[in-house]
Structure 1
Amino acid sequence: MEFPGLNAYLLTPLRDGRPDPGALERLAGRAVHAGVDAVAVLGSTGVGAYLGRADRAETVRRAVAAAGPVPVLAGVSALRTEDAVRHAEDAAAAGAAGLLLSAMTYQPLTEDEVVGLFADVGAATGLPVVLYDNPTTTHVAMTERMYTRVAAAAPVRDVKIPGRSEDDEAATRARVGRIRAALPPGTGVGISGDAVATAGLLAGCDAWHSVLGGTLPRTAASLTRDAAAADEALRDRARDATARLEPLWAMMRAHGSLRVMAAVAAHLGLADVDCLPRPLRPLAAGERGRCAAIVTELGLD
């Protein structure tokens, strides 16, 4: 396990179609000041798949500089293995502490092809790899058998698993136990899917890979601390906080977490309203207003 705790996934805000360095630095600074355990760039929230090699490398360099002592995870996923290898090499040169890697596909991938991708990228640098399982975005569904094979072929130190809205805490705990049994001892298991992340933390996940943490880091950090506590009163407070955030979760379900967090960042003056790469577009004015109202009414930060 290399990256326990709150892993804050930053937007990569654009201005005039190029990464906006000031916006990225503001987001990274907020996350560090809030006490996050790691900063992640160029994941699905960080629109890495939409950026060219030079912009991706520069984004990692700026994030590392802004994060100071806080480790930076760099997304290196690409359709072609050779591109993912180049991104990994660039991230290592820029000072990243670890690599976020998912299997992305246009043509369906076989299990052997997924394992080969991780083996090739893992061999390119000496950095630890976070196996980034994000089937909603990548359309590659990982199985426990695939976790086992990938972890045997690459320097995987942590696995980011997608949360399931249909699972309660007991079902999540059982699932996390099965995944741990499929991995080498000491491999971290982190949860994603902000609306269900509390269940994962309460079930014993080591990390929260959080979209919320990249834009509203104090809110996410408080929730993470309570959910990871031994005190049942604090754990209940985490459950209550998650339920209180339902208006925000509902916006994410309706419009996608990326667009919602971009709207929140714009409301807070952290990024331009139109900060997403085309063909993505910002939420309509009414929806942005709803996001702003939720942040204000709930006192999120």
Structure 2
Amino acid sequence: MEQVISVKAPASVANLGSGFDTMGIALSLFNTVEMREWDGVEVSTTDGTVPVQGEENLIYRTVKAVYEECGRTLPGLKLVQASPIPQARGLGSSSACIAAGVVGANRLLGGVLTENEQLSLAARLEGHPDNVVPAMLGGFVTSVMEGGRVYTVKKKVSEELRFCAFVPDFELLTEKARAALPQQVPHRDAVYNAARAALMAAAFCEGRPELFAVASGDKLHQPYRLPLIPGAGRVLEIAMQLGARAAFISGAGPTIMAVCDAGDDTFVPRAILALAEDAATRRFAVHRYQAQNASMF
């Protein structure tokens, strides 16, 4: 019987300010993928989005890479996608594709790779672990790559928290956002971030959201990326004025993420009004998500 694999891969928010390329949280927004071995490459969608066709499709390329890693030849692939995670917005759209491709391919192959082997391969394909590892594990995750292997710790995110994404109507390619970063940073800036990243990890693990505002402080990437995102500085100010626990660039941007209390049902409508009143922020829409604590494995 023909084997059909279905997987759901969540969006994610990376960096959390101070945890550049190391920290991330999975969100309750999912790409869904159905795949099967096929004669050729066929890609379609169920949600009206326009997918990349043929062998350039990221999920196909990921599945092929997994097969090659396992010494197998991929005959072809039929993919049916639903992809509501917006592309080039800093919400881990490419990581969700890679996560779906790695987990789905491993299931097609009969589960030949261990969990860590899947995480490590996905992180190598992505180039860093901050989005793809939380997408696969769920929850709050801090990770490092060492010798091509992922070392990671996961903590479930409290149900008392929500994540409000200020998503603009324009894209920012990761390549452009990375090109804005300096080749060297002052020692004091590195110390500033190391201290706050450690505090952020401890704050999530100990359930101390009152520390998030200080812990999310950053001098390694946000000061260089904010000029690439029109209105972002004002969005950060609005989020904090409305009572967010913390606000920061989501991944490489251009989305701004605010960490909010689950009981504050007024944050989004108040944010919508505030954005509409400022010409610099009208291009941003607000969406509210829960953390996705469940693993893909």
Is TM (by shorter chain) over 0.5? Answer: no
Structure in which a larger fraction of residues adopt strand: 2
Max Rg structure: 2
**TM-score (normalizing by structure 1):** 0.30
Q: Flag the structure with more relative contact order, 1 or 2, with Cα contacts below 8 A and sequence separation at least 6.
A: 2
Structure in which a larger fraction of residues adopt helix: 1
**TM-score (normalizing by structure 2):** 0.31
